[in-house]
Amino acid sequence: MAMEEAREAVGDYKEGWHDPEHSTIRFDSGLSEEVVRKISQIKNEPEWMTEIRVKAYRHFIDRPMPGFGDREALEGIDFDKVCYYLRSSDSTEKDWEDVPEDIRNTFDRLGIPEAEQKWLSGVTAQYESEAVYHSIREDLESQGVIFLDMDSGLREHPELVKKYFCSVIPYQDNKFSALNTAVWSGGSFIYVPKGVSVEMPVQAYFRINAKNMGQFERTLIVADEGSSIHYVEGCTAPTYSTDSLHSAVVELIAHEGAHIRYSTIQNWSANVYNLVTKRGIAHKDATIEWIDGNIGSKLTMKYPAVILKGEGSHAEVISVAYAGKGQHQDAGAKIHHLASNTTSKILSKSISKDGGRGSYRGMVTVSPKAENCKLNVVCDALILDDGSQTDTYPTMEVANPSARCEHEASVSKVSDDQVFYLMSRGHSEEEALAMIVNGFFEPFTRELPMEYAVELNKLMALEMEGSIG
């Protein structure tokens, strides 16, 4: 039957091309204390940073793999085969014209300079280990907004970085936060001063190009009292037969009354391990929102977290995951209500197709002293065919009886009758599936800037089509 055939078709990964590798510095693969010290030395870092890297490295070595998620896939990571540092351009440019041509072409192809002109306040473009391009609108700079790649951030604002680095996610948090702290390179550093609202989003784009590459960007966003910012992150990598490792750490600090929205569209090729730790602290009346889209990768383990530390603070995590052939998306959210009158909302949507596996893993806690908290968790899964799988691991630990908790979960399958209904209105089987899938993701896409929503819808249509070259 045609329906089966359409579902078997796997969309070719659109961003799977790669440029010839060129590097000004490339480390041999494998990790040692020497490698860690060398990264720090190349970057000319202050002593305290070198020390924390080395401590983190030792912790990484001692720390076992996580006892949850896809343990079998995790055991498949060969840390000795990963390249931990690769610099392909000697400096971070402020003008696209100065970026080496083939790297510039890559970002052109990904549409970054175009998006920058149209609707962004600033852009960082990272290629392998280092940012190759960086710019911010002058009016924001004059208001005191700092938006730098993390390495420049450390050089130019060492005190601010020292104050907040590892303050939300200590290197001991988990094996991969330790790894990232040991070998981090690139990422964004943002500081928004008191009362400043950054109206248009700023974007960082992370591109892996080389084989067996490990990308370990480190992002730190501090929004001071009453300020607001929307940060958008995009990621892609070429398709290789060997694996790449992406292991980022993102720390957010929202001071009193501040608002941070962090949107991600990760569209990794199917050979990337994506093991990311993301967490924010919300102080009094602050809001932190994670809008998290996970498409592609071999295995993603990611649970954006918010610690509601100040009274009246609010957290939202809206995430979607698409697990195709040979892919496992183990994603979810964590929220800790530590203060009274805090509210949170988790909406998780996953789609599994062609034998893919989508898992929701979530945790919400309310501490004994936190009065009148409200929390709402909704997780929906959509399965496109019989061989695909979904599972849910929700945890709620509520230690204060005044909390109002709501939890809903649903699993649905695309029915033949639903597809037939849309086909009877002139839509081919692939179009019908794309309409159903995009509809399922709609609560997520409506939170994205329009350009991203359109892009995501196109991406899902391609996944349903399986016939693009």
Partner 1 sequence: MSEYAPVLSLEGLHVGIGGTSILHGIDLEIKRGEIHAIMGRNGSGKTTAASTIMGHPDYEIESGSIELDGADLLELEPWERARKGVFLSFQYPQSVPGLQVGHFLRKSVAAIRGDEAAKGAPFRNALKSAMEEVSIPRSFLSRYVNDGFSGGEKKRFEILQLMLLKPKLAILDETDSGLDIDGIRVVSRGINAAIRGSESGALIITHYSRILEHVKPDYVHVLIKGKIVKSGGPELALELEEKGYEWLESDAKEDD
State yes or no: residue 420 binds partner 1 (CB under 8 A).
yes
Which span (230-238, 254-262, 277-285, 424-432) binds partner 1, by CB under 8 A? 424-432
The side-by-side arrangement of strands in the sheet containing 287-296 is 130-136, 122-127, 202-207, 228-236, 259-268, 287-296, 314-323, 343-352, 374-383, 404-413
Site map (CB under 8 A) of partner 1, residues 366-405, x = contact: ----------------------------------------
Q: Is residue 406 at the binding interface for partner 1, with CB under 8 A as the rule?
A: no
Other Cβ atoms closer than 10 A to 178: 25
Choice between 363 and 432, CB closer to partner 1: 432
Count of residues of this chain found to bind partner 1 when the rule CB under 8 A is applied: 27
Options 164, 206, 360, 440; binder of partner 1; rule CB under 8 A: 440
49-71 burial, b at 16+ Cβ within 10 Å, e below that, comes to: bbebbbbbbebbeebeeeeebbe
Out of 148, 237, 438, 456, the only residue in the binding site for partner 1 (CB under 8 A) is: 438
**In a 3-state reduction of DSSP, which class is residue 115?**
helix
By the rule CB under 8 A, 8 interacts with partner 1: no
Judged by CB under 8 A, the stretch of 205-213, 266-274, 322-330, 415-423 that binds partner 1 is 415-423
- C-alpha 271/C-alpha 275 separation (Å) is 13
Triad 91, 92, 98: Cα angle to 5°: 85
Max CA distance (Å), the chain: 68
CB 440 within 8 A of CB 382: yes
CA angle 204, 106, 264 (to 5 degrees): 30
For position 421 contacting partner 1 by CB under 8 A, the verdict is: yes
Euclidean distance between CA atoms 458 and 438, whole angstroms: 9
Residue 235 sits at φ, ψ, to 5 deg, of -145, 140
Alpha carbon distance 357, 322 (integer Å):
9
Task: Work out how close the CB of 378 gets to partner 1 at its nearest, in angstroms, rounded to a whole number.
Answer: 13
457 binds partner 1 (CB under 8 A): no
Q: Does 416 bind partner 1 (CB under 8 A)?
A: yes
- Residue 54 near partner 1 by CB under 8 A: no
Closest CB to partner 1 among residues 340, 457: 457
Helix, strand, coil in percent for the chain, rounding step 5: 30, 35, 35
469 near partner 1 (CB under 8 A): no
Work out whether 455 is an interface residue with partner 1 (CB under 8 A).
no
Q: Does 447 bind partner 1 (CB under 8 A)?
A: no
Q: Which of 30, 387, 394, 443 binds partner 1 (CB under 8 A)?
A: 443
Q: By CB under 8 A, is residue 451 in contact with partner 1? A: no
Q: Please report whether residue 435 would count as binding partner 1 according to CB under 8 A.
A: yes
CB of 436 to partner 1, least distance (A): 6
In this chain, which of 422, 447, 462, 466 binds partner 1, going by CB under 8 A? 422
Kindly tell me which of 96 and 444 has the beta carbon lying closer to partner 1.
Answer: 444
State the minimum distance, in angstroms, from the CB of residue 412 to partner 1: 9
> Minimum distance from CB of 292 to partner 1 (Å)?
18
**Strands 86-87, 25-26: parallel, antiparallel or unpaired by DSSP?**
antiparallel
Interhelix angle 416-423/429-445, rounded to 10 degrees, is: 110
| Shortest reach from residue 23's CB to partner 1, in Å | 44
Burial 15-24 (b: 16+ CB within 10 A, else e): beebbeeebe
Binding residues vs partner 1 (CB under 8 A): 1-3, 415-418, 420-429, 431-432, 435-436, 438-443
